[in-house]
Chains A and B, each alone.
Chain A
Amino acid sequence: MKIDKAKCVGCGNCTYVCPMGAIYLDPADHRATIDADACVECYTCYRGMSTEHLYPPLIRGIRKLLSFFRLRFEPEPDVCPTAAFVPDDLQWPRIVRRAFSDPQVPHESTGIHGRGTEEVKTNDVTNRVKQGEAGFVVEFGRPGVGARFYDIQKMTMALARLGVVFEPNNPVTHLMNNPKTGEIRKDILNEKVLSAIVEFKANLTEVPVLLNEIEEVSKQVDTVVSLGVSTRCDENGDNPLEELLQKQGYRFWRGKTNLGMGRALT
């Protein structure tokens, strides 16, 4: 993302709306500037802000006049008065940032909008996670912190050492050099994304060991890790995962419930 400095009037509205805090007013020219290294190309500034199309010199003049009298106009906080944001033509490897950060861009690898696969949401159609199995979704960078792939690789390599088979239809798995070792391609390791999800499934008997490993590796990464675990229920709607997690000391009360109303047409 870029800011057209000829348009920017330095109102500062955009500095708050950036989820990564990557936009600041440059003291040299009093215009909004994007820290390219911190920006994850989520397009929140470009898409989320409403816009006016005002004449920049006029707005700067008014702001200067008010400032002289120590007055400050308090505009609507979600508006860019001059539509100053300009999308960049992203190239590899930077384009990876947008694929994992802008939810309205589908991943080419999966065709699914967002950062992961369909998890347990379509389990009634795919039967991906069966009774006696647990599906894991380990998300990095969420909420609102951001993550670099070198941190994600710490987790994928540790899990691979335990014999985890990563979900093939997942964008992070697609970026691995070798899914058996969990090694991610070197040219994207320093790329920062708003969040990325590592997915795999395992037998319920393996759940305690895997949870312990995830907890341990989470202490070694410079970001936040959000964890979700799923399973298939029995004919009464019950499942043994709940008790297993409670035994492990987890407290949980929120989640997604698949109602089993989906069916495959082919």
Chain B
Amino acid sequence: MTNTLHRYGDPDTLKNDYIVFAIATRKRNDENSVEKFKTFLRLAAQHNPVNMGDATKGGMYQPSKSLTPIVHWHREDPVRIQEVIEGIDKPTTAAAVFDNLQAVKEFLEDLKKADLGLSINISALTDDANRCCKEVGITRHSVEYSLGFRGALDKLPDKQVLEITTMCGHGMISAHFAKKMIDWVREGRRTPEEATRYMARFCSCGVFNPVRAKQLLEQVCRPKVGGK
């Protein structure tokens, strides 16, 4: 699973996108790990994550299967932090998404103290992650670099759409839907925040970054100076 490896964007647009996740190794340290995953997410919740999730159950933003027509005028959309934590009932990959490096640093300090024994990874700009490790007194063990896309690149959507859709690396957020949301925001039919929420519900493991998505939508719809 490389679902957070290839998030598309220039380094400047990835400065508010940090995913910290915990994973166990089958038959090596996954036994009795449920409470450790819950602890991981409880600690994460103390540092204002913008999303959190369990790979088998979903994230803070989830679809609802029993809506009533009132939803088209007024939509209740609770952010399910406690449900995500309490929902873990077997070994999984638990992830927390942050929009700033300081929060990641503080979370890592907590994780160091907790010493869960699970594998902990940061998916982000590698220089930022390395700096964060050094500041917390951690020597990074291994690194995986994204070398981007090749092949039939003509099949890819445009840059703005890719920046949004690759935040669900599993591909659950369709390029057609992201384009529709960009158009709706541009036409004033929905706010960037509403459009972001629609898309976040499709991410099935909670690694979608709604803060970055909202900012990207706002940029797409901002008038360009000098017609550039």
Contact = CB atoms under 8 A, between A and B. Distances in A.
B67 A51 contact: yes
A162 interface: no
B79 interface: no
A92 interface: no
A228 B6 contact: yes
Nearest to A18: B174
Contact of B71 (A44, A79, A266): A79
B126 A253 contact: yes
Interface stretch (B43-51, B80-88, B137-145, B210-218): B137-145
A226 B6 contact: yes
Given A76-B75, A103-B204, A144-B157, A254 B117 contact: no
Interface in A211-248: 214-215, 218-219, 221-233, 235-237, 239, 241-242, 245
B16 interface: no
A69 interface: no
A103 B170 contact: yes
B142 A48 contact: no
A76 B181 CA distance: 11
A53 B67 CA distance: 8
A229 B145 contact: yes
B29 A230 contact: no
B72 A75 contact: yes
A228 B145 contact: yes
Contacts of A164: none
A19 B172 CA distance: 6
A42 to B, nearest CB: 7
A114 B3 contact: yes
B162 interface: yes
A182 interface: no
Interface centre among B92, B138, B174 (most CB of A within 10 A): B174
The size bracket of the interface on B is 35 or more
Interface residues of A, number: 95
A262 B65 contact: no
SS class, residues of chain A in contact with chain B:
loop
Nearest to A257: B129
Contacts of A121: 21, 23, 119, 121, 144
A52 interface: yes
Interface in A20-64: 21, 42, 44, 47-54
A228 B147 contact: yes
A226 B165 CA distance: 15
A259 B140 contact: yes
Nearest to A81: B69
Contacts of B149: 143, 224-227
Closest 7 A/B residue pairs (Cβ): A114-B1, A260-B141, A262-B119, A230-B144, A48-B202, A257-B129, A225-B151
20 contacts: A48-B63, A76-B75, A83-B65, A137-B5, A139-B6, A142-B6, A143-B8, A144-B171, A226-B146, A228-B6, A245-B147, A254-B6, A254-B123, A256-B143, A257-B133, A259-B133, A261-B117, A262-B118, A262-B119, A264-B25
Given A48-B63, A52-B69, 18 more contacts: A51-B66, A54-B69, A78-B202, A103-B1, A115-B2, A122-B119, A137-B144, A144-B157, A218-B151, A223-B152, A228-B145, A242-B145, A252-B146, A254-B126, A254-B145, A256-B121, A259-B108, A262-B120
